[in-house]
Amino acid sequence: MSSGFLSLPLQLDLVPQRGILQLCQTKQSIAHHIHLILTTSLGELASDEAFGCGLWDADFDNLSSRSRLKDGLVQALDDAIRSHEPRLEQVRTDLQLQQEELSVPGSNRRIKNRLDITITGIMKGTNEPIIYKDHFFISPLSYN
């Protein structure tokens, strides 16, 4: 059963054929919204410059210690989710930071910081647990 939330990515090419966009469940909508928050830089959204998170601020931070970087990222992610996802309460962010060697075809191997992010919370109104997991590579930021 869909609850009226649009599914991402939007498939606008289907609108002329079917007349509607694909809908999704509340849990999936929350996951899409969290991903959007995490991949948006602060100040990037002109209508709300506070939307996004500070993940991008640490993108090229090679000077901070790993524990200081991790603590700063957890705080930035927590603040962003609490501020911009009103359907969740009791939000908790866990972050694992590790270096990973990546081989890119046609170039040398690169070492990047991999962030494994787990965000847990309780959906307001239903008290259902929400668990969102994602990973990003920073220096520079990339995701799949």
Write the CB contacts of 36 (distance below 8 Å, at least 6 apart in sequence): 8
If you average pLDDT over residues 127-138, what whole number do you get?
91
Contact 58, 73 (CB under 8 A): yes
Residue 96 lies in a domain: yes
Question: Does residue 2 surpass a pLDDT of 60?
Answer: no
Model confidence at 61: pLDDT above 80: no
Question: What is the tens place of the pLDDT at every residue in 11-40?
Answer: 777 666 666 777 778 899 999 999 999 888
The pLDDT value recorded for residue 116 is: 92
Q: Does 72 reside within a domain?
A: yes
Which residues does 116 contact at the CB level (< 8 Å), separation at least 6?
A: 95, 96, 98, 133, 135
Q: What is the domain-level CATH number for residue 95?
A: 3.10.450.40
- Span 56-72, average pLDDT: 69
pLDDT tens digits, one per residue of 68-115:
778 888 888 899 999 999 999 999 999 998 877 777 677 677 777 788
Average pLDDT over residues 2-12: 67
Number of domains in the chain: 1
Q: Indicate the pLDDT class of residue 58, thresholds 50, 70 and 90.
A: low
144 assigned to some structural domain: no
CA distance 42 to 25: 27
Specify whether the CB–CB gap between 81 and 73 falls below 8 A: no
* pTM of the shown model: 0.76
Domain that holds residue 77: 5-138
- Residue 4: strand pairing partners: none
Q: How far apart are CA 71 and CA 48, in angstroms?
A: 25
Residue 112 lies in a domain: yes
At 128 the pLDDT is 94
Residue 71 lies in a domain: yes
Q: Is residue 110 part of a domain?
A: yes
Look at residue 73 and tell me if it is in a domain. yes
Query: Does residue 143 belong to any structural domain of this protein?
Result: no
